[in-house]
Structure 1
């Protein structure tokens, strides 16, 4: 049996604060702040999610998962952090949202359910696993031909280290210290290469920006820190 592509220490970090997933002022406050932008990006790039099957890989407590379900998508969320999944299930039930949450890795699910989803999202996860290229490949197998895969991660630049680690974790303390390992950040060229190898065509790369003075998050062309990637399965004729 293939070992799960997971770092238990990383899972434990998220499990320690699982009860705080839906606290907008807690350790996941930055995810609450960017969640509307992430969802809007997926909606704009796909032309809407109503009636589509969507898989959220590394769903955590369900922030993006619920936002996409609210757009009338049929959503499945997967994660290996069982406490986070318990929080996600309870919150969805409170909101009367029908979401299928499963404790399984993307690679394992791809073995049994390839090509089952119109859209696959994998946000803020790649930098937390030992083999991110394996997750990219699994996402490509899970989406149907012509379907969309979305990733978001952090660029491996000095600017990203200064903002995501030094500023966010050590100075401003908007993230728990140790949330990120800068050596695991991923350059857009690397992600694009993994996408091509998995049969995905990168359709868009967009930066996600944070203004520490105003506290505003915006989307734009600069991908030097956080960025989003939209890829499509299969190549144009």
Structure 2
């Protein structure tokens, strides 16, 4: 499936991440922050729902960092994305690493929801909502894809002055943690807005965690401070 005007994707965003696709599994590359936060978000997901034996979907999987780790925890995982290059990298890594029970497909979340409604125990959509034109559509489709009582996890960026200073000025221009232009401030999503999308989609908000970065120690940690990066656990009614 290719990006078009009927697909909930920004061609410029797809091009941006496609250009960097070959660096997804370089732990010192532009994707280093994702490698560093992945154990935190994986552990948090497992604290809500043990993944062994579950059928899991990773929406906007990119090069497969989270999808691969969920499969290694015993889940049967499908990773989807609209970046052909990123998916090829994910598939190659799974082959080289011998990761069991992980597959990748180039399909939109809306398209997959039409095929496999209620098919998954766990759905994750991390660091993606702030990159699409219609995040509410993504939330609705994630809710359609999970079984009743199943879990849907999101992570994104809050929209306020602190988030602008930390996530754009600090991360992209001062500390060079991310390439400049990675994020657009106006696409950041307040928790109240995400909560509205979840309510409309039939998802109950269970828990929120903040993600903080200490530039002196170069370490990330989960906290109660959701003013910049935050993660949300929800369940389908």
Normalization by structure 2: what TM-score?
0.97
Structure 1 residue corresponding to 2:83, chosen from 81, 91, 95: 81
2: distance between equivalents of 1:33 and 1:13?
A: 21
Q: Name 1:171's counterpart in structure 2.
A: 174
Cα deviations by residue, 1:64-114 (Å, 9 ceiling, x for unpaired): 001100001000000000000000000001111231100000000001100
CA distance in structure 1 between the partners assigned to 2:115 and 2:68 by the alignment = 24
Note if 1:59 corresponds to 2:76.
no
1:147 pairs, out of 141, 150, 175, with: 150
* Residue of structure 1 equivalent to 2:213: 210
1:19, CA displacement in angstroms? Answer: 0.2
Alpha-carbon distance in 2 for matches of 1:206, 1:18 = 28
Q: Superposed, which structure 2 residues align to 1:92-103 within 5 Å?
A: 92-97=94-99, 98-103=101-106
Structure 2 residue aligned with 1:112: 115
Which residue is 1:195 aligned to?
Answer: 198
Question: Match of 1:228, SS?
Answer: strand
- For residues 218-229 of structure 1, what are the structure 2 equivalents within 5 Å? 218-229=221-232
SS in 1 for 2:27: coil
Root mean square deviation of aligned Cα: 1.0
Secondary structure of 2:209's counterpart equals strand
With normalisation by structure 1, the TM-score equals 0.97
- Aligned-partner SS, 1:161: helix
| Residue number among 31, 41, 46 corresponding to 2:34 in the alignment | 31
Following superposition, the deviation at residue 2 of structure 1 comes to: 7.8
Deviations 1:117-156 (CA, angstroms, capped at 9, x unpaired): 0000000000000000000000000000000000000000
Q: CA deviation at 1:212?
A: 1.0
CA distance in 2, matches of 1:93, 1:38: 24
CA distance in 1, matches of 2:174, 2:233: 32
**Structure 2 residue matching 1:22: 3-state secondary structure:** coil
- Once the 2 structures are TM-superposed, how far is the Cα of residue 9 of structure 1 from its aligned partner? 0.2
* 1:168 positional shift: 0.7
